[in-house]
Structure 1
Amino acid sequence: MTTLLSGLGLGLSLIVAIGAQNLFVLRQGIRREYVFTVATICALSDLTLISIGVAGLGAATTALPWLVDVVRWAGAAFLIGYGLLAARRTLRPPAIATDLPGTDGSTRLQVVATCLALTWLNPHVYLDTVFLLGSVAATHGDQRWWFALGAMLGSIGWFYGLGYGARLLSRWLTTSLGMRLLDGFVAVVMVLLGISLIIGR
Structure 2
Amino acid sequence: MSAVVAGLVTGLSLIVAIGAQNAFVLRQGLRRAHVGTVVALCSASDALLIGVGVSGVGVLVQQHPAVLVLARWAGAAYLLCYGARSLWNARRPQALHAASQQAGGRWAVAATTLALTYLNPHVYLDTVLLLGSVAHHYGPLRWWFAAGAALGSLAWFTTLGLGARAASRVLGRPAVWRVLDLVVGVVMIVLALRLLLG
Q: State the TM-score, normalizing by the size of structure 2.
A: 0.95
**5+ residue gaps, structure 1:** none
Which residues of 2 match residues 70-149 of structure 1 at below 5 A? Answer: 70-94=70-94, 99=97, 102-149=100-147
Amino acid at match of 1:111: V
Pair 1:182 & 2:180 matched: yes
**5+ residue gaps, structure 2:** none
| 3-state SS of 1:119 partner | helix
CA distance in 2, matches of 1:49, 1:115: 15
Change in Cα spacing, 1:182 to 1:102, as seen in structure 2 (3 Å) is: closer
The worse-fitting range, judged by mean Cα deviation, of 167-176 and 67-76 is 167-176
8 A contact 1:21–1:118 mirrored in 2 = yes
CA distance in 2, matches of 1:104, 1:186: 18
The alignment yields a C-alpha RMSD, in angstroms, of 1.5
8 A contact 2:33–2:103 mirrored in 1 = no
Q: Structure 1 stretches (4+) deviating beyond 4 angstroms?
A: none
Task: Report the CA distance between 1:169 and its aligned residue.
Answer: 2.0
Pair 1:68 & 2:68 matched: yes
Aligned match of 2:161: 163
Amino acid at match of 2:11: G
Change in Cα spacing, 1:82 to 1:100, as seen in structure 2 (3 Å) is: closer
8 A contact 2:94–2:178 mirrored in 1 = no
CA distance in 1, matches of 2:90, 2:197: 26
CA distance in 2, matches of 1:181, 1:113: 25
Task: Report the CA distance between 1:9 and its aligned residue.
Answer: 0.4
Task: Report the CA distance between 1:99 and its aligned residue.
Answer: 2.8
